[in-house]
Structure formats: structure tokens, C-alpha cells
């Protein structure tokens, strides 16, 4: 993959979507419909997805540095 700074910006913006995901889980927890196990699974899943988003952003950053597109 040949990355651009726009790819990096997009990847960083995707990391912010975790905040929206957490708000959704929080709102669902207030409704009382979800069990503790459901909430725990949702949070663990979000933690894993957030880690993947951050790793992708960092891989793109490293590629841009390596290619000399950013310093």
C-alpha cells in the first residue's frame, strides 16, 4: 500500500469513532436492557477494535516516515 497523508488523517479520524462507540454502549447500559456480560463483551470488543485502529494509523505513519513523505 502506498500511503498518503490523507490516509493517515483518515486513520486518525477513525480512532475518534471509538468515542462514539463508547457513548453508545454507555447509553445502552442506562436503558438496563444489557446484562453485565453483554456490556463486558461490548467493552472488550471495543478495546480490541480501538487497538486495531491505532495500530493501522501507526503503520501508515511509519510508512510515510520511511518513504520520506513526512519527517
1-29 pLDDT, tens digit each: 789 999 999 999 999 999 999 999 999 88
Give pLDDT, residue 41: 96
Give pLDDT, residue 71: 80
Q: Quickly list DSSP for the chain.
A: ----HHHHHHHHHHHHHHHHHHHHHHHHHHHT-S-HHHHHHHHHHHHHHHHHHHHHHHHHHHHHHHTTS--
Distance between CA 11 and CA 64 in Å, rounded?
A: 13
Q: What angle do CA 19, 21, 23 make, to 5 degrees?
A: 70
Q: Is 64's pLDDT higher than 80?
A: yes
37's grid cell: 456480560
- Global pTM reads 0.85
Summarize pLDDT for 22-63 with one digit per residue, the tens. Answer: 999 999 888 888 899 999 999 999 999 999 999 999 999 999
Amino acid at each position: 500500500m502506498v500511503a498518503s497523508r490523507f490516509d493517515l488523517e483518515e486513520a486518525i479520524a477513525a480512532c475518534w469513532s471509538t468515542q462514539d462507540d463508547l457513548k453508545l454502549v454507555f447509553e445502552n447500559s442506562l436503558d438496563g436492557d444489557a446484562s453485565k456480560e453483554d456490556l463486558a463483551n461490548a467493552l472488550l470488543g471495543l478495546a480490541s477494535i480501538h487497538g486495531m485502529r491505532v495500530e493501522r494509523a501507526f503503520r501508515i505513519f511509519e510508512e510515510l516516515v520511511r518513504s520520506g513523505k513526512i519527517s
